[in-house]
Structures are given as structure tokens and as C-alpha cells.
Amino acid sequence: MMTKQIKIVVTGGPGGGKTTALDLFRRELGDTVAIVPESATVLFSGGIGRSCDEQVVKNVQKTIFSLQQNVENIQEKQYPDRFLICDRGTLDGLAYWPGTEDEFFEEVGSTIEKELSRYDAVIFFESAAASGRDIQSNNPIRNESSTQAAELDKKLQSIWSRHPSYYFVGNSESFVKKIMFGIMTIENVINRHNGGYVGPSFVPTFSK
């Protein structure tokens, strides 16, 4: 059993390619990694509709926050010998919160410091919309326009970049190159936190 289970968040704005990267990464590593599914997708695909009503949005985000915590805890207990890769984390909901940051943490009963400390590292896939491109998502639950996706990308960056181990996967002219860079970043982060050797052929760039 691991002395300390490694838990990494893979997040980013809509249309950033994280879902594609996670799928390929899971196939590559198999039973050495456990994926924590995106809680918002679990909720919305289960029949909960989207709403513009402020109170409904707040209730939805509080539900997603609680679900995210519990699903992470379930995966930790079920797969104690695996690395945990989270498809988004507890702080993603803050970007969708219609009130203030202080109100969000008061409502969910936590703090920014506590939630950041849940994760060993954060890998952020920049939305293609941030470069003015149309976005295509493999997730049918996502319905953001390119403008909305770019705005969410900025909000999410401002939240997650406060983590001390924040890695940024920026846009590239080639989507394939971006995905490969993202996969190598995930692998490299795991090696770093697992005390493994990181070869000289790849050194990821990162920003805070």
C-alpha cells in the first residue's frame, strides 16, 4: 500500500481537451490509476436540469461540491494502492457561483486553503476558447458558448493557480500536440510526487 495516496486534479475551461487526455491516460496506465468522475456530469446526466435561477444555481453547486468530496472519498477507500486522478475538483464550483467567494465557502462549510490542500497537484488544460477558437466538447452535458467558455477558463485559472503545485497546459496549434503534452505533464507530476525519476527528455512548463 502507498505510504501516501497521490491525488491530482485535472481541470480547465470547457473545450480544453482534459476529457480526451484523461481517457487516453487511463488506457495507458490501467490499474495503477483510479479516475474520480466529474461530479457535475454525474448530477446533470442523472436528470437534474440546468437553471438560471440564482438560488437553484447555488443549490446545484452546493450539491456538486458535496458529491465531489464524497466520490473522492469513495475512490480513496476502494483503491488505496492507486493514484487518484480527479476530473475536476471541489473548487471548480466556485467559478459558477453567482455570489461572492466568501459566501461560497460559508455555504459549503470550508475554506480555500482546506480545499487546495486536498490535492497534491493541479493540472490545468486551457480552453481553446481562450485563443478565440470554437470549442468542441466530447461531453454532451456541456453547453457553454465560446465566450462563456473563455470567461470560465479565466475564473478557473484564478482559483486553481493558487495551488503551490499548479501546472498549466496551454493551447497549441496542434490539438494532438496539446493532448500529448498534457498526458506527459500528468505522468511527470505523478513521478515527481511518487519519488520517481523524471527523464531529461521532457520538462513541463508550469505557471502560478
Cell triple for residue 76? 480513496
* Rounded distance between C-alpha atoms, residue 130 and residue 133, angstroms: 7
Predicted local confidence at residue 148, as pLDDT: 86
Predicted local confidence at residue 137, as pLDDT: 57
Q: Which of 4, 3, 7 is nearest to 189 (CA)?
A: 7
Question: Between the CA of residue 99 and those of 54, 91, 153, 155, 191, what are the distances in Å?
Answer: 9, 14, 18, 13, 38
Q: Which of 20, 10, 11 is nearest to 136 (CA)?
A: 20
* Rounded distance between C-alpha atoms, residue 31 and residue 79, angstroms: 9
102 phi/psi in degrees, rounded to 5: -60, -40
Q: Which of 90, 38, 99 is nearest to 65 (CA)?
A: 90
Predicted local confidence at residue 126, as pLDDT: 92
Predicted local confidence at residue 200, as pLDDT: 34
Q: Which residue has the cell 437553484?
A: 56
* Rounded distance between C-alpha atoms, residue 89 and residue 112, angstroms: 12
The yes or no reply on domain 7-193 and CATH 3.40.50.300 is yes
Predicted local confidence at residue 138, as pLDDT: 54
* Rounded distance between C-alpha atoms, residue 160 and residue 95, angstroms: 10
* Rounded distance between C-alpha atoms, residue 74 and residue 69, angstroms: 9
- Identify whether the C-beta of residue 196 lies closer than 8 Å to the C-beta of residue 83: no
Domain ranges in the chain?
7-193
Q: Which of 132, 151, 124 is nearest to 208 (CA)?
A: 124
Each of the 208 residues of the chain gets a pLDDT tens digit; together they read 456 789 999 999 888 888 888 888 888 778 888 999 999 999 998 888 888 899 999 999 999 999 999 999 999 999 999 999 999 999 999 999 999 999 999 999 999 999 999 999 999 999 878 766 666 655 556 667 788 888 999 999 999 999 999 999 988 778 888 888 888 888 888 888 776 543 333 334 444 4
The residue count of the chain comes to 208
Predicted local confidence at residue 10, as pLDDT: 94
DSSP label at residue 21: H
Predicted local confidence at residue 197, as pLDDT: 40
Between helix 101-108 and helix 54-78 the angle, nearest 10°, is 50
Helix (H) or strand (E) holding 33: strand 33-36
Predicted local confidence at residue 21, as pLDDT: 87
pTM for the structure as a whole: 0.84
Predicted local confidence at residue 151, as pLDDT: 93
